[in-house]
Amino acid sequence: KELVFSGVQPTGNLHLGNYLGAIVNFVKLQDTHNCIYCVVDLHAITVWQDPAELTRTIREVTAAFIASGIDPKKHIVFNQSQVSEHAELAWVFNCVARLGWLNRMTQFKEKAGKDRENASVGLYAYPNLMAADILVYRATHVPVGEDQKQHLELARDIAQKFNNDFSDSIRAHNFGEKFFPMPEPLITGPATRVMSLRDGTKKMSKSDPSDYSRINLTDDADSIAQKVRKAKTDPEPLPSEEEGLKNRPEADNLVGIYAALSGQPRPDVLREFGGGQFSGFKSTLVDLAVSKLGPIGAEMKKLTQDTAYVDAVLADGADRARVIAAETMNAVKDIVGLIRKK
Ligand code: ATP
Ligand code: MG
């Protein structure tokens, strides 16, 4: 079976974008792949996190995985910082990746904002750690939303440069021609890019300061209703064809969300609601969102109360992940020429 790796940051409220762009796929891939799903807490601390809140959110993301249908017994669920090989391999990759490559990363530019001199070094090196997360398991398939495409390409560049730079040593140690595989993004969720409810040109994000910009997995029916009702739209009625959504990012986004949640193709949604006002469409969307997310949110709440259970899941997953990661890291040390205890 092919190996899948993906991660979600414990940086705040998990939202509909995370769910439709990532977690729904995580669940599906369990049938066909061996899967490793990681709460990437070392990525979270590239920007300031309140310590107690970070602890709480690590458990919350774990609960979201389980509540959405990820089976931590059949697959591996853990938090990144418990497997130190991630950070170790990331350092080697810091020495493989080039400054010029990282300078092109748009997420850094967006997250660092105007005050770039004041951004953490970790935020800059973030894609190298992400490459290590994937390659420390030599995973080949990475289900992510569209926003992570560029980082995945960087991970491939790093894998390739490592394979090239150390090709003689890789052969000498009998690892064949290539040590790291080229990880492939799986950008195939029901909605690979869910946009903010306040601004159809910005992606829905955990770190958006406005809670009205996103639907959280833990939102109750009232908040979902309020957020959808207040979601930005335009004065035109809904079109009945895709053409009519051009230059209407907010309308486009709501139609996409509806299609993804209902499992209907977009043309069907447009045929059903085209010509109607947003108010009617929005109230159907509220019912749909509440029926899909309500049970997950309720289960998450139950699970987060049982911290002993969640922590045990993470510890068990970390133990199993470490076995694979340590094997890769040992090989990397041999390939690079570092002495280790044998
Ligand atoms: P942050 O703002 O802290 O970066 P985030 O909302 O981007 O948080 P991440 O933990 O960085 O969430 O990403 C987790 C997964 O969710 C990734 O696979 C990412 O591609 C996906 N994802 C994030 N936002 C969206 C979105 N708006 N639409 C679709 N997928 C998304
Ligand atoms: Mg993100």
Per-residue tokens: 214: 């996103």
| Helical ranges in 98-166 per DSSP H | 99-103, 106-112, 121-135, 149-165
Which domains are present in the chain?
3-192+306-336 (3.40.50.620), 218-302 (1.10.240.10)
- Cα-to-centroid distance, 36 and ligand 1 (Å): 17
Q: How far apart are CA 237 and CA 252, in angstroms?
A: 12
Encode pLDDT of 41-98 as tens digits: 999 999 999 999 999 999 999 999 999 999 999 999 999 999 999 999 999 999 999 9
Coil vs helix vs strand at 199: coil
State the pLDDT at residue 207.
Answer: 87
pLDDT confidence of residue 149:
97
Cα separation, 279 vs 308, whole angstroms: 44
First to last CA, the chain: 30
What is residue 12's predicted lDDT score, i.e. its pLDDT?
87
- Beta carbons of 76 and 317 less than 8 angstroms apart: yes
Q: What is the ipTM of this complex?
A: 0.98
Compute, in angstroms, the gap from residue 16 CA to the centroid of ligand 1: 9
pLDDT at residue 185 greater than cutoff 90: yes
Q: Is there a contact between 61 and 39 (Cβ–Cβ < 8 Å)?
A: yes
* Ligand 1 near 46 CB (within 6 A): no
Bridge partner list, 195: 203
Q: No. of H helices and E strands in the chain?
A: 15, 5
pLDDT band at 189 (very low <50, low <70, confident <90, very high): confident
Cβ–Cβ under 8 Å, residues 102 and 125: yes
Mean pLDDT, rounded, for 27-37: 98
Instruction: Return the ∠ at Cα 42 (arms to 121 and 216), rounded to 5°.
Output: 110
**Is residue 110 scored above 90 in pLDDT?**
yes
Mean pLDDT of the residues in the chain: 97
User: Would you say residue 108 has pLDDT above 90?
Assistant: yes
Ligand 2 mean position to 32 CA, how many Å?
26
Average pLDDT over residues 241-247: 95
Q: What is the pLDDT averaged over residues 266-283?
A: 95
* pLDDT tens string 118-151: 999 999 999 999 999 999 999 999 999 999 999 9
> Running DSSP on this structure, what letter comes out for residue 183?
-
Query: What are phi and psi for residue 146, nearest 5 degrees?
Result: -60, -30
The string of pLDDT tens digits covering residues 286-314 is 999 999 999 999 999 999 999 999 999 99
pLDDT of residue 289: 97
Going by pLDDT thresholds of 50, 70 and 90, the confidence category of residue 263 is very high
Residues in Cβ contact with 247 at an 8 Å cutoff, skipping those fewer than 6 apart: none
Reduce the DSSP state of residue 76 to 3 states and report it: strand
292 annotated to bind ligand: no
User: For position 298, what pLDDT does the model report?
Assistant: 96
Burial per residue of 18-34, b for 16 or more beta-carbon CB atoms within 10 angstroms, e otherwise:
bbbbbbbbbbbbbeebb
Cβ pair 72, 316 in contact under 8 A: yes
DSSP tag of 244: G
> For residue range 220-240, what is the model confidence (pLDDT) as tens digits?
999 999 999 999 999 999 999
What's the predicted TM-score (pTM) here?
A: 0.96
Q: How confident is the model at residue 154 (pLDDT cuts 50, 70, 90)?
A: very high
Average pLDDT over residues 89-110: 97
So what's the pLDDT on residue 159?
98
Does the pLDDT at position 190 exceed 90?
no
The residue among 208, 209, 186, 177 whose CA lies nearest residue 195 is: 208
Nearest CA to ligand 1 atom 26: 17
Kindly tell me if the per-residue pLDDT of 186 is higher than 90: yes
Query: Which of 8, 9, 11, 18 for mutating ligand 1's site (highest number of atoms within 8 Å of CB)?
Result: 18
Q: For the residues 161-181, what does the mean pLDDT come to?
A: 97
Phi, psi of 161 (to 5 degrees): -65, -40
Cα distances (Å, whole numbers) of residue 259 to 118, 177, 263, 276: 41, 45, 6, 16
Q: Is the CB of 43 under 6 A from ligand 1?
A: no
**DSSP SS3 for 182:** coil
